[in-house]
Structure 1
Amino acid sequence: MFLRTESLSQFIRFYPVVSVLILIHAIVFIATSLPGGLGNEILFTLAGINGLISEGEYYRLVTPIFAHADLFHVLFNTFSLVLFAPALERLLGSVQFIVVYMLAGIIANVATWVLQPPFYSSVGASGAIFGLFGLYAAIWLIYKQGAPMEIRQVMVPIIVISVVMTFFSSNINVTAHIAGLIAGIFIGLFIFQQRRRE
């Protein structure tokens, strides 16, 4: 489930939405790394800055999902996408997957806007990725021992470790991580309970 054995062309064919998200990460990171202050200006334009959101720049509830603060940030989130997103795109289908991914990310950014002070700003796909973690948690909650072994033995410990690390790491948007996870759990419970009844 989490072991990637596909060639690049197969990966793109099997997981088109994940592939596009990875490409967007790369393009946006290159743009925000441009010299002469241009990169910083682009990053500022994309960042979720609470005070500016309150002034009506609501697009900032979406754009932070695709922007990252530094190389480690973008590599970590992109690596998480490569590992954990393909199985969900295959399970949900491309359309439902991107809807769930974006919804979790937006909910995470809305929670940050509502719960953090006006000067607070953030970027990163972590809220959306924690939403994917929430989907895996929902599968485990619904199916228990019937859930795939990889979810029980790999994802559940990763989710627990990720939540714990959220509170002990610096420069982490704790609100987005937790809100994204909770959103993913509730979205997943809705989706997979519906599927179980069919």
Structure 2
Amino acid sequence: MFTRSESFKQFLRHYPVVSIIVSIHIVLYLLTILPFLPNKWLFEHFAGVNLYIFEGEYWRLITPIFMHSGFSHVLFNSFSLVLFGPALEQILGKGKFIFVYLAAGVAANTATLFLEPLTYIHVGASGAIFGLFGFFAAIIMFRKDMISYANSQLILTITIISVIMTFLQPNINVVAHLFGLLAGFLIGAALLSNKKRPVFSFTRSSSSRFRNQRPSLKEIEPSKLLLLGIIIILALVGFLFR
């Protein structure tokens, strides 16, 4: 589910939304570092600046999702999207995936707007990517038949590590990470909790594989609840004492 075996052309064909988003990351980053271009102009007009948003530049709630402040920043976020985005794009479909990704990113930036100072400046796709983690957590909670036990444990472990690293690394928008995670989970809960109508489409092979790998409810429920509890506790403690 999270391992990539496709060729480059196959990846572009199967996951067009993820491919386009990563391409936007790369193009915008290159435009900010090329010496013959007015690279500061992009940050001046599209970075998330709380003061300017309050003054009516509301596009800054969206544009920071696609901008990054350095090579390691764009590399890590793009790699994370390539690793975890394709599975959700395949599960949700292109339209719903775009909605979840942008909604989580905007929710993260809106929380940053109200919880950080007016002079706070931020860029990066981390809030939207944490939204993907949150959506996966909702799948694990509400639709266990859609994901194998091994993959559910993997995504929860990575989510916990990501939350921990949020408070250990410098210059991290903690608010965006936490509220992006929360937004993704709530969106997933809203879409997945209604089991009367199918929300997603699967191929027969992939859905049967997930069902065959899924253990019983008694076997997996305590560990998943414990891991989710740890995520929430770490998030709250880190947010209160950062």
TM-score band, normalised by shorter chain: over 0.9
Deviation at 1:141, TM superposition (A): 1.2
Which residue of 2 is the match for residue 148 of structure 1?
148
Contact between 1:136 and 1:151, CA under 8 Å: does it hold in 2? Answer: no
1:100 aligns with 2:128: no
Unaligned runs of 5+ in 2: 198-242
Which residue of 2 is the match for residue 30 of structure 1?
30
Deviation at 1:37, TM superposition (A): 7.3
Deviation at 1:46, TM superposition (A): 1.4
Runs of 4+ aligned residues of structure 1 deviating over 6 Å after TM superposition are none
Partner Cα separation in structure 2 for residue 179 and residue 11 of structure 1: 30
DSSP-derived class of the 1:76 partner: helix
1:135 aligns with 2:132: no
* Aligned amino acid, residue 15 of structure 2: Y
Deviations 1:6-56 (A, max 9, x none): 011111111010010011011100111122672122122211000111111
Which residue of 2 is the match for residue 8 of structure 1?
8
Deviation at 1:192, TM superposition (A): 1.4
Which residue of 2 is the match for residue 168 of structure 1?
168
The two structures have a TM-score, normalised by structure 2, of 0.78
Deviations 1:94-113 (A, max 9, x none): 01100110010001000000
DSSP-derived class of the 1:109 partner: helix
Contact between 1:64 and 1:124, CA under 8 Å: does it hold in 2? Answer: yes
Contact between 1:140 and 1:151, CA under 8 Å: does it hold in 2? Answer: no
Which residue of 1 is the match for residue 196 of structure 2?
197
Which residue of 2 is the match for residue 178 of structure 1?
178
Partner Cα separation in structure 2 for residue 123 and residue 97 of structure 1: 21
Identity among equivalent pairs (%): 50
Deviations 1:77-130 (A, max 9, x none): 000010000000000000110011001000100000011000001000000000
DSSP-derived class of the 1:35 partner: coil
Partner Cα separation in structure 1 for residue 133 and residue 40 of structure 2: 31
* Aligned amino acid, residue 34 of structure 1: L
Partner Cα separation in structure 2 for residue 145 and residue 161 of structure 1: 25
Unaligned runs of 5+ in 1: none
Between 1:43-52 and 1:82-91, the stretch displaced more is: 43-52
Number of aligned residues: 197
RMSD of the alignment, in Å? 1.4
Deviation at 1:197, TM superposition (A): 2.4
Partner Cα separation in structure 2 for residue 23 and residue 84 of structure 1: 16
Deviation at 1:144, TM superposition (A): 4.9
Contact between 2:62 and 2:105, CA under 8 Å: does it hold in 1? Answer: yes
